[in-house]
Structure 1
Amino acid sequence: MRPPAVSVPARDPAASIVGRFHALAAARQLAKPGLRRLLGLQIARTALRLGFAAMAAMAVGRLVMGQPVASWLVPVTIALLVAACLAGFVADRAQASGETAVSIGLRELAGKRLDEMPARQLQSLSVGGVIMSMQRHPEAIAALVVGHRAASAMMAAGPLLAVATLFLVSWQAALLVICLTPVMIVFFALIGDAIRRRADAQERAFGRLAGQFADRIRTLPTILANHAMASEEAKLAQRLEAYAGNTMGVLRIAFANAGIIDFFASLSIAILAVFLGLGHLKLATIPGFSNLELWQSLFILMIAPEYFAPFRRFSEQYHAKAEGLAAAAALDRLLDAEPVAAKSLPVLDRLRLTLPAHGLVAVVGPSGSGKSTLLRRLAGLEPGAHLLAAKEIAWVSTDAYVPEGTLAGAISWNAGAPDRIRLEDAARAIGLLDDALLPGGLDARLDKGGANLSGGQRLRIAVARAQLCGRTVLADEPTAKLDRETAEAVRRMLLEISGTRLVIVATHDRDLAAAADIMVDLTRDDTVEVAA
C-alpha cells in the first residue's frame, strides 16, 4: 500500500515573532528593586555627610575661637563620618549588584528572543553583532537604568537637602548657590545632544568592528590560502582606528562636562568664601554674610560642596546615559530585525511528495532553487506544516549542535544510550577516530559549542549520531566541502542508514543523487520532476 502524498505549504508570513523587543523598558522593570535600595542608601549617605559637615564646622569653629566644645560633639562628629563612609561603601556595592542583576536579566530576555526567532532570520544575523550585543550592550543599558538613574534622582534630592541645611544658617547663601544651578542645567542640555551622537557613532563603529573580526576568524583558512593576511590586517586596523576615534570623542566631551561642573562649583564656593571673608573682616556689610560666627561661616563653606556633589556625580554618569541609549537602540535593532522572507518558490507550494518508510530521497537543483528551504519545512524549522515530527528527526549539516565534553558524548547526544562498541564502530566508519585533529579517540575533548571543530568534523559527528539514533534523517549538503575520502564515507553511511530508515538529502553531489531511490529535481521554477 502506497503511503499518502503530502504537500509542502507556503511559509505563513504571519508566523513571525509577535511583539517588539524594548530593551530599555525591560531594563527599567528589572532595575526597580535595586534602584529603590540604592536611592535610599545614597540619600542616607548625603544626610550623614551633611550632619558630619555641620558637626565638624561647629567643633572647629569653637576650638579656633577658644570657646568650650561640648563633650558629645567630637565623638558624634567621628561617628557621623564613619557612618557616611559605611553608607557610601554599601551604596556602591548596591549599585554594582543592581547593574549586574539588570545585565543578567537582559541577557536572559535577549537569549529567549533569539530562541524564538525563525531559523532563517537567526542565520541572517551577524555573528559578531550578536556576540557584541550579548556581551557589551546589557552592561551599558544597566549602567543607564541604575547608575545614571540614581545620579539623576540624587541631582534633585541632594541639592535640596544641602539647601535646606544652608537655610538654617543663611538663606542668602542658599539663594546664591541656587542661582548658579540653571547655568549647569543649560550646559547639560547643550552638551547632551553632542555626546549622544558620539556614543551612537561609537556603538555602530564597535558593531562593525566586531562583525568584521568574527567574519575574518571564520574565513581565516581562506585568507591564509590566498595570502591576504596583510590586506585584512589593514582593514581591521582601519575599523579599530575608527572605533578608537569615536571612543576618544565621547571621552573628550565627558571630561569637558566634568571640568565645567568643577569650574562652577569652585566659582560658587570662592564667591561664598569672599563674601564671608569680607563680612568677618568688617570690610563690607553683606546681608546673610556679615555678623556670622566663625563656625557658621565654616558650616556654609563645608555644606556648599555637598550641594554641587550630585551635579558632579551626574556629569560622571552622563556619558553612561548616551552609551546606554545607543546600546538599547542597537539591541532593539538586532532583536527586532524584520523577518527574512523566504524566497518565493511556487514550485514548493505545489510540490506533493510520497515519502516512503525507508530509502534515500535526494533533492537536487541549482543554488536558490529551494532545496534547503524544503528540508526546513519538512522538519518544521520554518513555520508551516510539520510534515515530520521534530522528535523523530536527525538533522545533519555543518552547523549541527555539538555539546561540550568528549567526542563520545557528542555522538551519543540525543541518540539514546549506545554502548561503547557501537560508538566506536560509528565513529570509525565515518573517519572520526582517524582524524589527527581529534587526538584521544572517543575521549577527545570538545570545546563549548564545538568551537574547536571544523564544519566537516561537526557534520561527521552528526552523521554518526544519525546512524545510532534510529530516526528519520534530514541532511543539508552532507558531502559539500569535504575531501574525496571523507565524502565517500558520508555517502556510505547515509546509504546504509537508508536501508532501514528514511533519509532525505539536499545535495549537489551527483554520486549521492544517483544512488537515491527517489530524486526530486527543482531545476525549474514551474516544474518538479520526481524520479523513482
Structure 2
Amino acid sequence: MKTPVVPAPVPDPAAASPGAFQALASASQLAKRGLRRLLCLQIARSALRLGFAATAAMAVGRLVMAEPIASWLVPVTIALLLAACIAGFAADRAQASTETAVSIGLRERAGKRLDETPARRLQSLSVGGVIMSMQRHPEAIAGLVVGHRAASTMMAAGPLLAVAALFLVSWQAALLVICLTPVMILFFALIGRAIRRRADAQERAYGRLAGQFADRIRTLPTILANHATSGEEAKLARRLEAYADNTMGVLRIAFANAGIIDFFASLSIAILAVLLGLGHLKLAMVPGFSNLELWQSLFILMIAPEYFAPFRRFSEQYHAKAEGLAAAGALDRLLDTEEVVAKPLPVLDVLSLELPAHGLVAITGPSGSGKSTLLRRLAGIEAGGIPALGSRRLTAEDIAWVSTDAYVPEGTLAGAISWNAGAVDPNRLQHVARAIGLLDDALLPGGLAARLDKGGANLSGGQRLRIAVARAQLCGRTVLADEPTAKLDPGTAGAVRRMLLEISTRRLLVVATHDRSLSGAADITFDLTHGDTVEVAA
C-alpha cells in the first residue's frame, strides 16, 4: 500500500543553525583593546627615537666641530635612548600578548561553533582539517589583525613623524624621501596579488596534507594488514613536497619584498649623503643641502632610516596578511559560513502514526534525499523532534544508535560492547561478539580483552559499526541504524544484516539504507525518492 503524504510546513528559519562565523570580524573585535595599546607604544617608540636622533646629532656635531656641548645634552640623549628601548620592548611584548589573547579567544569561539554544528555536518568534516584549523588558523588570523594592522597604521604615522622632523631642518630633504614613497606603495600593490595566491595555495596544500595524515593514522592497522605502507608513504611524500613548494614560494616573494624596501631605503640615504657631502665640501650648491651645520646633516641622515623603517616592518608583515586572509577563509568554510535551513521532512508526521512496537522500518531513497537527516532527527541528534512510539514518546535514553560514528569508550572490547547496555551475561556477550565477527578480526587481537584507544581511535569504521550492532543486540532499546551495511565486505555485511533482522523480531529497528536485501525484509518502507512526497509501503 502506498499513501501520498502532504508535506509538512517549512520550519521557522529562526530555528536554523547560526549564520556565518566570520573569523576575521571576531578576531578584530577581540583585538581592539590590545591593538590600541600596541599602537600607542609604537608611536611613543618612534617619537622617542626621533628625539634621540636629534639630540645625538647635536652632541656629535658639536663634538666634531670642537664646540661646547650643553651639560643637559648627553644625559637627555641617554635618557631618550633608554626610553626608546623600553618602549620598544613594551611594544613587542604587547604585540605578543595581544596576538596570543586573540588566538585563544578565536579558538574558543570556533570550538563553541563546532559544538553547535549539526552532527551530520560535523561527521562530514576531515579530522585532520579540523585539528589543523583549530591549531594553525587562529594564530595566522591573530597575526593579521594585530601585527599586520599595527604595521599598516605605523606605515602612515611613522613616516609622518619623520617627515615633520625633517621639515624642521630641510624641507628639500623631506621632499626627496617623500618622492620615493609612491614607488614602494606601487610595488606593495603588485607583489600583494602574487603573495596572496601563493598563501592560498599553501593553505590548501597544508589542509590536504593534514587531512590525509590524520586519516592514515586512524586507519594505520588496516594499512599495515594490507601491506600498503609503501604506497601510503609515497602519497604523503607527494603532498608534503607540494606543501613545501608552496611554502618556499611564499618565502621567496616575502624575501624579495623586503629586499626591494632595503634597496629604496639605501638609495635614498645614499643620495642624501652625497648631496649633503657636496654641500659641506662646497663642491655644489644644492638648495636645502648647502650651508647646513654638521649636526643638521647628521640629523637628516639619522632620520632618513626612521622614515623607511615602518615600510620595512610592513613588508615583513605582508606575508602575515596573505596567510591570515587565507586562514580566515579556510576557517569560515570549515565552520559553514552559510546559514543552514533545515530541510522539511514530512515523513516525521507519518512516523508518529506508523511506527510499530517492533519490526523493521526501512527508510530508502537516493543519496541526498534526507535519509540520514531523518534518522538523526528521530534520534534527537538534529533538531526535528522525536515522534511518539505507540502511547509513549521516544527519548534519547530509549534509543540505541548504530553507525560508523557510534560512541566507543576507551578500554576493552568487552567494555565497549556492553557500554550502557546494563547487566550483561558474559556467555551472551561472547556469543554476540562472535556472531558479528569481532572475535575473528585479526586487527583486534586478544578477543574481548582487546584494548581500544580513547574514542576508538584505533578502530576502522566497520569495526566501530559492528561494536554498535553488538551493543544494540544486548540492550533492550529501539534501534536506529544509519547505513549499517555500507562499505562492508559481503561476509561482514551479511553478519550485520542477520543480527539486525534478529533484533527486529523483538524490538523496533529503523534503518536508513541503500541495501536492497535489508530494505526488502522491512515491514514498513518509507521511500524518499520523490522529495516533496513520501511513499509509505507496507
Secondary structure at 2:69 match in 1: coil
Match of residue 160 from structure 1: 160
Q: CA deviation at 1:304?
A: 1.1
Distance 2:425 2:153 in 1: 62
Distance 2:83 2:9 in 1: 69
Cα pair 1:27 1:145 within 8 Å, conserved:
yes
Taking a change above 3 Å as real, the CA distance of residues 428 and 73 of structure 1, as seen in their structure-2 partners, is farther
Distance 1:300 1:423 in 2: 91
Match of residue 56 from structure 1: 56
Q: Deviations for 1:385-404, whole angstroms, at most 9, x for unmatched residues?
A: 33233465443433234567
Match of residue 314 from structure 1: 314
Match of residue 290 from structure 2: 290
Spell out the pairing of 1:182-201 with structure 2 (5 A cutoff): 182-201=182-201
Q: Pick the aligned partner of 2:406 from 389, 396, 400.
A: 400
Distance 1:426 1:39 in 2: 70
Q: CA deviation at 1:256?
A: 1.0
Match of residue 274 from structure 1: 274
Q: Deviations for 1:173-215, whole angstroms, at most 9, x for unmatched residues?
A: 2222112111111111121222222222222222233333334
Q: CA deviation at 1:334?
A: 2.8
Q: Deviations for 1:211-269, whole angstroms, at most 9, x for unmatched residues?
A: 33334444444544554443333333333222222222221111111111000100111
Secondary structure at 1:168 match in 2: helix
Distance 1:56 1:224 in 2: 70
Spell out the pairing of 1:129-528 with structure 2 (5 A cutoff): 129-336=129-336, 354-355=354-355, 359=358, 361=360, 363=362, 372-387=372-387, 388-390=394-396, 392-402=398-408, 446-447=453-454, 449-455=455-461, 458=464, 473-476=479-482, 504=510, 519-521=523-525, 528=536
Amino acid paired to 1:240: L
Match of residue 25 from structure 2: 25
Secondary structure at 2:331 match in 1: helix
Amino acid paired to 2:102: V
Cα pair 2:469 2:500 within 8 Å, conserved:
yes
Match of residue 83 from structure 1: 83
Secondary structure at 2:257 match in 1: helix
TM-score, scaled to structure 1: 0.79
Whether 1:36 and 2:36 are equivalent positions in the alignment is: yes
Taking a change above 3 Å as real, the CA distance of residues 486 and 294 of structure 1, as seen in their structure-2 partners, is same
Secondary structure at 2:401 match in 1: strand
Taking a change above 3 Å as real, the CA distance of residues 423 and 147 of structure 1, as seen in their structure-2 partners, is farther
After TM superposition, the structure 1 stretch with the greater mean CA deviation from structure 2, 119-128 or 90-99, is 119-128
Distance 1:248 1:73 in 2: 49
Amino acid paired to 1:385: G
Cα pair 2:404 2:465 within 8 Å, conserved:
yes
Distance 1:175 1:412 in 2: 82
Distance 2:173 2:425 in 1: 84
Cα pair 1:209 1:236 within 8 Å, conserved:
yes
Q: Deviations for 1:125-169, whole angstroms, at most 9, x for unmatched residues?
A: 333333332222222211111110000000001111111122222
Taking a change above 3 Å as real, the CA distance of residues 527 and 183 of structure 1, as seen in their structure-2 partners, is closer
Q: Deviations for 1:321-363, whole angstroms, at most 9, x for unmatched residues?
A: 1121222222223333668999999878855654466x56564
Cα pair 1:43 1:157 within 8 Å, conserved:
yes
Distance 2:28 2:54 in 1: 37
Amino acid paired to 1:96: A
Q: State percent identity of aligned pairs.
A: 75
Distance 1:73 1:266 in 2: 29
Match of residue 390 from structure 2: none
Taking a change above 3 Å as real, the CA distance of residues 349 and 503 of structure 1, as seen in their structure-2 partners, is closer
Distance 1:423 1:85 in 2: 74
Distance 1:234 1:520 in 2: 49
Secondary structure at 2:26 match in 1: helix
Cα pair 2:23 2:106 within 8 Å, conserved:
yes
Match of residue 3 from structure 1: none
TM-score, scaled to structure 2: 0.78
Q: CA deviation at 1:427?
A: 7.9
Distance 2:70 2:164 in 1: 25
Distance 2:253 2:44 in 1: 31
After TM superposition, the structure 1 stretch with the greater mean CA deviation from structure 2, 401-410 or 180-189, is 401-410
After TM superposition, the structure 1 stretch with the greater mean CA deviation from structure 2, 151-160 or 102-111, is 102-111
Secondary structure at 1:304 match in 2: helix
Taking a change above 3 Å as real, the CA distance of residues 180 and 117 of structure 1, as seen in their structure-2 partners, is same
Q: Deviations for 1:92-119, whole angstroms, at most 9, x for unmatched residues?
A: 1211221222222222332333333333
Q: CA deviation at 1:383?
A: 4.0
After TM superposition, the structure 1 stretch with the greater mean CA deviation from structure 2, 369-378 or 150-159, is 369-378
Match of residue 107 from structure 1: 107
Q: CA deviation at 1:463?
A: 7.1
Match of residue 391 from structure 2: none
Distance 1:105 1:202 in 2: 25
Amino acid paired to 1:187: F
Unaligned runs of 5+ in 2: 388-393
Cα pair 1:365 1:523 within 8 Å, conserved:
yes
What do you get for the CA RMSD once the two structures are aligned?
4.5
Cα pair 2:519 2:525 within 8 Å, conserved:
no
Cα pair 1:16 1:118 within 8 Å, conserved:
no
Cα pair 2:218 2:459 within 8 Å, conserved:
no
Q: CA deviation at 1:487?
A: 10
Cα pair 2:480 2:511 within 8 Å, conserved:
yes
